Amino acid sequence: MKRAQLSSLCLVLFLTSGVRAQRTTTPRDDLVVLKPSRVWTGDERQSQAGLAVLVRGRTIEAIKPVADLKIPAEARLIELEGTTLIPGLIDAHTHLLLHPYNEATWNDQVLQESLALRVCRATNHLRKILLSGFTTIRDLGTEGAGYADVGLRDAVAQGIVPGPRVLATTRAIVATGSYAPKGFAPEHAIPQGAEEADGVDSLIRAVREQMGKGADWIKIYADAAMGGGAVKPSFSLDELKRVVETAGSAGILVAVHASSREGMRRAALAGAATIEHGEEGDLEIFKLMKERGVAFCPTLAAFEASAVQRGYQPGRDPIPPRLQRSRATFKLALQSGVTIVNGSDMGVFAHGEGAREIELLVEYGMKPLDALAAATTVAARTLRLEDRLGRIKPGMLADLAIIKGDPTRDIGTLRRVVLVLKNGVVYPVP
């Protein structure tokens, strides 16, 4: 969307929502001054009143007390009472090309929905994610939609569709026979939701091919329930090490899906940058991850969503055993001091509901400011983007969210996003 279109949309938003906007005589869309009631820069233990932020082009030029900030005459002034300005949120585990399984089963999405349909739907997902305050996502696998995430990433970057900055992993890598769709007669070859590879040579080829086609990260599944039984490791430590080494020599990091204790252990020893889910993690494994600098991406919202899709009603029904386990595991992770990065597995549940993960981080024992950090400063560091993203300070990209209320005090206010900026472009929330 062009800046001019956005400004007129923005003005409408302010007029209809009662939020006050002031415009100077000749406002420029690439020069914006934000005056919220409070600012949380990512660095303090509380939000601060009386600050204003000057955005020039794509970047934050200044953050100063209102009285000290010289507001250029041509700047577009956005004054938003009762709001808090925070760094744009980051979700390190999404699936743009999935939609909730109560709308269509995962099998049907992978086998029956056309690529064109899935991509069209994903453009809606992109918009919803951005307008819910998330300005960067790491999309962890297209689930049968090939390299479509690369095209979606580029469509956002080129301004063709609105959306968050996307880090693409493309197809994800699984051991032969370990993934899905499953349950068909064995004589049929069923297209899989990820790329199968086995043994060092085949894995190296898969990693290089995915990087060649545009992967920003590599995702690999360290374990699976092979015969429908318990989840067991699917790759040897040596295989995982070579994946990390191959990606690493190209400057690319590896996210490892691991639920079993042994899968997590191998992933940590192999040099994974993040471990996803980690349901069977114990204190020793989380300490090993901490020691090895591996971040934990707990995807609590996905566990909850799966239970909800089976009829569980949060706050009404007793907590189902699998959720009790993920809650207990999360407490061990907290206790260990391992880095916890916000990642929700959005797509399993509705896009645009990413705040649920941050709410659950708090509900399961994290302090609200630590949960906010997991979705901003810590996520930026985990994704190696801390020089550009995750904080409000001069020189950083102007990725920002304006929230009605103060999420540093009440995490529930993250649902009340008023305005989002990404790369300095203003996106009003309808």
Residue 86: both structure tokens together: 């925070």
Residue 97: both structure tokens together: 């090309």
Does position 345 interact with Zn ion (CB under 5 A)? The reply is: yes
Between residues 140 and 369, which has the closer beta carbon with respect to Zn ion? 140
CB burial class (10 A; 0-12, 13-18, 19+) of residue 4?
Answer: exposed
CB of 38 to Zn ion, least distance (A): 34
CB of 301 to Zn ion, least distance (A): 11
CB of 309 to Zn ion, least distance (A): 15
Between residues 91 and 198, which has the closer beta carbon with respect to Zn ion? 91
CB of 357 to Zn ion, least distance (A): 12
Alpha carbon dihedral 375, 377, 380, 385, in 10-degree steps, equals 160
Element (H, E) at 367: none
CA–CA separation, 402 and 416 (whole Å): 9
Between residues 139 and 239, which has the closer beta carbon with respect to Zn ion? 139
CA–CA separation, 141 and 302 (whole Å): 15
Candidates 10-18, 54-62, 206-214, 340-348: pick the segment binding Zn ion (CB under 5 A). Answer: 340-348
CB of 426 to Zn ion, least distance (A): 31
CA–CA separation, 261 and 27 (whole Å): 57
Between residues 138 and 165, which has the closer beta carbon with respect to Zn ion? 138
Candidates 246-254, 258-266, 343-351, 365-373: pick the segment binding Zn ion (CB under 5 A). Answer: 343-351
CB of 101 to Zn ion, least distance (A): 12
CA–CA separation, 242 and 199 (whole Å): 10
3 state DSSP class of 173: strand
CB of 141 to Zn ion, least distance (A): 6
3 state DSSP class of 93: strand
User: Which residues inside 120-149 make contact with Zn ion, applying CB under 5 A?
Assistant: 140
CA–CA separation, 50 and 401 (whole Å): 17
Between residues 75 and 140, which has the closer beta carbon with respect to Zn ion? 140
Candidates 82-90, 345-353, 385-393, 422-430: pick the segment binding Zn ion (CB under 5 A). Answer: 345-353
Half-sphere exposure (Cβ direction) of 325: Cα atoms closer than 13 Å: 13
DSSP one-letter string for 60-75: EEEEEEGGG----TTE
Between residues 7 and 94, which has the closer beta carbon with respect to Zn ion? 94
User: By rule CB under 5 A, what count of residues binds Zn ion?
Assistant: 2
Alpha carbon dihedral 76, 80, 83, 85, in 10-degree steps, equals 10
CB of 95 to Zn ion, least distance (A): 6
Between residues 351 and 391, which has the closer beta carbon with respect to Zn ion? 351
The residue type found at 229 is: G
CA–CA separation, 137 and 380 (whole Å): 10
Q: Hey, which residues does 173 pair with through a beta bridge?
A: 195, 220
Between residues 92 and 338, which has the closer beta carbon with respect to Zn ion? 92
C-beta nearest to Zn ion: residue:
345
Between residues 38 and 277, which has the closer beta carbon with respect to Zn ion? 277
CB of 173 to Zn ion, least distance (A): 14
Q: Which residues bind Zn ion (CB under 5 A)?
A: 140, 345
